[in-house]
Amino acid sequence: GAVVSQHPSWVICKSGTSVKIECRSLDFQATTMFWYRQFPKQSLMLMATSNEGSKATYEQGVEKDKFLINHASLTLSTLTVTSAHPEDSSFYICSAFSGANSYEQYFGPGTRLTVT
Amino acid sequence: GESVGLHLPTLSVQEGDNSIINCAYSNSASDYFIWYKQESGKGPQFIIDIRSNMDKRQGQRVTVLLNKTVKHLSLQIAATQPGDSAVYFCATLRGAGSYQLTFGKGTKLSVIP
């Protein structure tokens, strides 16, 4: 089956620093990748939609200059949290969509970010 | 506005019993619905999906029912096992031509051995 990986699985950083999270589709090409944020005991909230070779589309209320998304290839998208603050601490999850006769998105295992 | 909600935030069932998890949606344009299982500290795992032209779909030990008239979706798990303990989310596409998902609030299922 389709596998999506994320790296790192968890990261602790100091306030004011930047953190990059990678999302890779391992055995298929993803025309579109999605980034979600999930706070404890809450649902997944879509942050942005990332299409290979074009600028990401951000959801209302998500700062595009703070959450930089790059989708340079059909198998890799990165999310960089710039100038992280404690309120950015969350579980970040990506998903990948192949667009091949299915609406199914394949989710990564998530990255736990803690900003101290 | 669009929302996908769940009737019950928590559900406890005895091992071996059947579980029913409910979900209400508000976007009548939604034409694709999915149930996900999320274990603690992990990403969502696809369980089963259903398109709007169907009202029932069965998988292995799971059945999804869709009632478009009242905009209601349910997930039935037969012979619930301890490994089924997780948070279950329903999700729907935002609308025709959209690939973006809106997730419901989630129901935590606890299986009592």
Residue B2 scores a pLDDT above 50: no
- Which of A50-59, B7-16, B39-48 has the lowest average pLDDT? B7-16
Q: What is the DSSP letter of A57?
A: E
Residue count (chain A)? 116
pLDDT attached to residue B5: 56
Contacts of A114 in chain B (CB under 8 A): none
Whether cis (ω within 30° of 0) applies to the bond prior to B44 is no
For the stretch A60-98, pLDDT in tens is 999 999 999 999 899 999 999 999 999 999 999 999 987
A30 or A102: whose pLDDT is higher? A30
The C-alpha atoms of residue B29 and residue B24 are separated, in whole angstroms, by 14
Q: How many CB atoms are located within 10 Å of the residue A48 CB?
A: 23
Distance from CA of A16 to the nearest CA of B (A): 25
**Using CB atoms, which residue from A44, A93, A103 is nearest to B99?**
A103
DSSP readout, A80-112?
Answer: EE-S--GGG-EEEEEEEE--SS---EEE---EE
Provide, rounded to the nearest whole percent, the portion of chain B with pLDDT above 70: 92
- The mean per-residue pLDDT over the stretch B41-52 comes to 94
- A93 and chain B in contact, CB less than 8 A: yes
What integer best gives the mean pLDDT of chain B? 90
Over range B25-29, report the average pLDDT. Answer: 85
B45 near A CB under 8 A: yes
What is the Cα–Cα distance from A30 to A47, expressed in whole angstroms? 18
Average pLDDT over residues A12-32: 94
pLDDT in tens, A34-63: 999 999 889 999 999 998 888 899 999 999
Q: What is the mean pLDDT of residues B66-71?
A: 94
